[in-house]
Amino acid sequence: MRLLLSGGSHRGSLGAIGAIGYFLWSEAEDVVTTLPGGKRGDRWSDVSEVVSVSGGSLANAVMAAQPGGTVEETAAQLAGMRRRLLHDRMLPWKSPTRIAATLALLSLAAATIALLLAAFGVIGPDVLSQAPWAVVIGLTVVPIALTVGRRLATWYLVDSATRITGGQAPLAPAGTGVRRHVISATGLASGVPYYFVSGGAPLEVSWGAALTEGYTTSDAAVASCSLPGVGLVRAPARYRREYLVDGGVSGVFGEQIDDTFVRRPSDTWRSDGDAVFAVDAARHLVSDSRLARVARLFSLVALVGRWLKVSLEATYVNDLLDLGPEQCARLCVPSTDGDGGELDDRRRRLDRLKERNAVLGLTSLSNATATAAIATGFVATLDVRIGLDDDRIEDGLRWLGAQLGVGDDLLACWQKTAS
């Protein structure tokens, strides 16, 4: 089975821990494999490939360092990632590199403002604003500052991603372990999908490029998470050394075409039925505010940014249409159906978790929000795969909490949804 991990910032990273935790628990506790309605339980050993983009790639990169891990090994990897993510939180004082980058950014901003004010005669002697160099500064200082600022932001991102993923582990060669880890990125110049591959069977794609040698797992995570203009990872020389950016641009679930380039579900890997399962931690694009609409009238950056969001939303919806209802766990979108009052009550509780998870972003990460995101990933996956059941939910969350070193926090988070 292929397990697909979407982006979605911290929602994607932590939701992936919960979803993978479901498969780990199912195997460790030997969950019943045949249930009414023909659904079956799952095993982590059933997962032969994990494909990811953006935020989901942080979790995938951690596992890619040791592909094909057992239940115990994978649980330990995810527990370590959770601890590092909560300790790091992308805060500026968590490493010397980020302290230096932050101080440099602040100094750059102050120097840029001071030079502009001097060039326009607001500060300093009049002779400064009347000098010929004042025109040069006025025209060039902002572009230069933005270029330097992007490079400092890149160092910041690379340092954070490297620490969260556990360091610079090389991608494992083909044949290492039984599970293949594929981390997706997109060429900024060409739009071609690139796949960082670690372990498992060799990967051949008819469109795009599979990258194995010369890269580390943190390189793959940085490339998969980078926005245009912020990122250092580049394709090999044979692919013109183009910069690699967020993999969600070419497919929200790591769109990977093995044998043919025909855009029909019947001709792609997504037609495999139960052989594909996606974890969707993304949020749908919503109507923006009046202030944002006004900003686009005057700002080219705001206009291009909105265009990029609309393009990603179109890709997002297109990929969802190719997945059946039993092939995708959605971690931010409320449920729409139920089979009786008792089940509906569980779904309402799950929806409360989803609502809380939907507002999780880069600046709102805490122990409580991380716990809610992991619990959402586990319960939403359980719901789709074998159905909601009180005993299974409690047993699974208790087991996963023990593996992650958080005790009964996950279970307590679920129990609070009943109030």
Give the DSSP letter string of 179-236: -EEEEEEEETTT--EEEEEESSS----SSSEEE-TT-BHHHHHHHHHPPTTS---B--
State pLDDT tens for residues 65-114: 888 789 999 999 999 999 999 998 888 888 898 899 899 989 988 988 88
φ, ψ of residue 403 in degrees (nearest 5): -70, -35
Of residues 205 and 265, which shows the higher confidence score?
Answer: 205
Asked whether the predicted pLDDT for residue 169 surpasses 80, the reply is: yes
Rounded CA-CA distance 76/59 in Å is 12
State residue 84's pLDDT score. 94
The share of the chain scoring above pLDDT 70, in percent, equals: 86
Strand, coil or helix: 276: strand
State pLDDT tens for residues 230-276: 778 999 999 999 999 988 777 777 755 454 444 444 444 444 445 78
Mean pLDDT of 165-170: 87
State residue 260's pLDDT score. 43
Mean pLDDT of 375-404: 94
The share of the chain scoring above pLDDT 90, in percent, equals: 38
The residue type at 266: S
Averaged pLDDT score across all residues of the chain: 83
State residue 286's pLDDT score. 65
| Joined tokens for residue 223 | 């490339």
State residue 263's pLDDT score. 47
Q: Whose structure tokens read 């279970």?
A: 411
Question: What percentage of the chain's residues is helix, strand, coil (to nearest 5)?
Answer: 55, 10, 35
